[in-house]
A and B are shown apart, each in its own frame.
Chain A
Amino acid sequence: MKVTVRLYGTWRQRFPGYEPSEGIEVEVPEGATVRDLVTLLEIPEPRQVVVIAGGRVLKAEDKMQRQVPVDVMQTIGGG
């Protein structure tokens, strides 16, 4: 299934040509987890990735949902 991924922070710089208004479409297997998605995105610091959908921070083992876009962000401790 296809999942729409919106990238934030400095992750965008790792995807040349990234268009914020569109995000990117990622093909994931049925039942794929957040961990699987992060692996597919090939972000070298997976522990720094925060995935948010529906207002909640997802856990690594949470499953991706059809037609639910996810926001891929970074860990920040405040400011």
Chain B
Amino acid sequence: MKFVRVNMTGGTVDVDGVPQDYAGLGGRGLTSALINAEVPPTCDPLGPENKLVFAPGFMSGTPLPNTSRISLGAKSPLTGGIKESNVGGTVATALGRLGITAIIVEGQAPQGSLYFLRIDETGNVSLIPAQEYEGKRTYELVDKLLEVYGQKTSVLCIGPAGEHRLALASVQSSDADGRPCRAAGRGGLGAVMGAKGLKALIVDQRGRSADPIADPEAFREAVKAVVKMVQADHMSAEVMPKLGTAALVAPVNAMGAFPCYNARQGTLDGWERISGEAMAEMIQERGGNPTHMGCSQCMIHCSNEFVDVDGRFVTGSLEYETIWAMGGMTGIVDLDTIARLDRLCDDIGVDTMSTGVGIAVAMDAGYKEFGDAAAALEMVEELAQGTEFGRLLGSGPDAVGKHFGHDRVPTVKGQSIAAYDPRAMLGHGVTYATSPMGADHTAGNLVGAYLTHMLDPLNPEGQVATSAFLQVAMAAYDTMGQCFMANVALLSPESFAVMSKLIEAKSGAQLEADEFPHALGRRVLKAEREFNRKAGFTEEDDRLPRFFYSEPLPPHNTVFSIADEELDGVFDF
């Protein structure tokens, strides 16, 4: 259990034990507690007072499958509030195997300087000048780093967008095949990393100093139970390996909740061409891989390798949210173009979701036509060039809306919504409005509740309670480093009991009956909301944009109808 504190101002590194306040935490629970305790809430997100925290999940590096998520936390340059963005790949497991609980990057390197932070297999930490890599895109950068440091290396890095400090900049994570195609995309944490002067975190995967497990036998037994539960889950065992998250295009579109043409319609003309079914077939025909393992210790394999007509790799895991943002919102019903846009975003280092939405806002405002693939590709390329338009798009959808005098901007706290329209799936509106992260589907996704009849997506009844339950559960699972796909299989009381056993077996501590996920998740959310309040957020910030309340969405022609008072009660616990 180690904290690695890196001061970029002085170029120093300190390795210490973990303070008692953070015992039993990892991932989001740790990043949010630490940001709330140590970062001045009104600071400049791109200044030296902000801190960028990398924290593998509490279970990362243990034999528990699907725990390869690492949380990145900081004050967000996009939302102005607290931010946790988590990502898969291999780095969380690598850090877990080194017994590193968190890396806290503080201060700011002298202007114009750029560094790598490297952790070798013995846990030695060093800052390495990286000036010669200035402006490098992520694929070329990671290729080079694996050449220099060996294939058993995990990388978290920024591209040109992070160096330009764009509010949409992501931190890219190398996957199981060493490609930087997985993204901590949301909230502009790549800009925070760029502002620190940190180009990449490089971690050796061969560490042998993981924290000891207090009761290995009990841990093994609980792991077996989790494996059984995930294997028995239809989504994890059947749908995700064959179609990936893109399987959601068909049902969400069929329910009239697929926001397209900048959320003017809930169904997309030509959606079949960008569905998960179409994508899996296309990848198969071209000799690509629709069932790919993207992350360490994954037993679900929701990833894919999208290839072009000649069978050449284009991008890794083309996901539902990207297909929606770059296809549905822009009206570009062409998977090859969407895949190229995804690759460009990964390479430049930007969030595909807020980028696609920014493009859609510009199109809706008349800057370009919906469906104009060449224009979309050019707009994304401008993010890397740092042109005037590139900087505008990179500042987020709100900035694009203001620039064009256009008020149909689907964001909350500056962050774009995801691929579920809150007028046709009311509960998603509750999550978007109230999550301390800004509009964020992973914070509490109700689509499963709708597809299984637990809730009617158009009836306000039950939406607040279900969103609240899921937001608490997800905050707890994000603390464990467990991936979303597995989380969905582990939302029953029996699953929570098994997770509690795992935590007890790892830590040796006895948990209160209500600790996982309820008490833990609530503590995480309380810390996040406390930071946001101190940063100046009020209840008025927990609202959707006005057009969701006034502009009916075809085909159901409904508006968002959850009362403000109900939204204000989501976190009454």
Tell me if A67 is interfacial: C-beta within 8 Å of chain B: no
Complex A-B, nearest 6 residue pairs according to Cβ-Cβ distance, in ascending order = A79-B245, A77-B448, A77-B488, A78-B445, A55-B256, A48-B234
Q: List 6 A-B residue pairs with CB atoms under 8 Å apart, sorted by A's residue number.
A: A9-B276, A10-B239, A10-B243, A57-B450, A78-B248, A78-B448
* Candidates B247, B272, B277; contact of A76 at CB < 8 Å: B247
B235 contacts A77, C-beta separation under 8 Å: yes
| 16 further contact pairs, Cβ within 8 A, besides A73-B451, A75-B451, A79-B321 | A8-B247, A8-B251, A9-B239, A9-B277, A13-B242, A55-B254, A55-B555, A73-B250, A73-B251, A74-B247, A75-B448, A76-B248, A77-B447, A79-B244, A79-B246, A79-B320
Q: Mark B284-299, 1 if CB is under 8 A from A, else 0.
A: 0000000000000000
Task: Please give, as numbers and ranges, the residues of chain A lying within 8 Å of B246 by CB-CB distance.
Answer: 79
| A77 contact from B244, B275, B445, Cβ within 8 A | B445
- Of B254, B319, B453, B491, the residue contacting A59 (CB under 8 A) is B453
Q: Is the interface of B mostly helix, strand, loop or mixed?
A: helix
Q: Which residue of B238, B243, B452, B484 contacts A78 across the interface (Cβ within 8 Å)?
A: B484
In the complex, whether A3 has a CB less than 8 A from a CB of chain B is no
B: number of interface residues (CB 8 Å): 41
* Pair A8/B320 contact, Cβ less than 8 Å: no
B448 touches A12 (CB 8 A): no
Do B453 and A79 touch across chains, with their CB atoms under 8 A apart?
Answer: no
CB closest residue in chain B, given A53: B254
Check: B465 CB closer than 8 A to any chain A CB.
no
User: Count the A residues whose beta carbon is within 8 Å of the partner chain — how many?
Assistant: 22
Question: What 1/0 mask marks residues of chain A from 12 to 30 whose CB sits below 8 Å from any chain B CB?
Answer: 1100000010000000000
Interface SS of A by simple majority: mixed
Flag if A10 contacts B556 (CB, 8 Å).
Answer: no
Query: Counting chain A CB atoms within 10 Å of each CB, which of B245, B251, B484, B556 scores highest?
Result: B251
Chain B residues 231 to 276 lying within 8 A of chain A, measured CB to CB, are 234-235, 238-240, 242-248, 250-251, 254-256, 272, 275-276
What residues of chain A lie closer than 8 Å to B165, measured between beta carbons?
Answer: none
Once the chains bind, are B484 and A79 in contact (CB under 8 Å)?
yes
Return A3 CB to nearest CB of chain B, in Å: 16
Q: Which of B432-487 contact A (CB under 8 A)?
A: 441-442, 445, 447-448, 450-453, 484-485
A54 to B480, CA, bound (A): 40
Do B248 and A12 have beta carbons less than 8 Å apart? no
Residues of B within 8 A of A56 (CB): 255
Q: For the complex, what is the distance from the CA of A73 to the CA of B485, rounded to whole Å? A: 18
Is B484 in contact with A75, judged by CB distance below 8 angstroms?
no
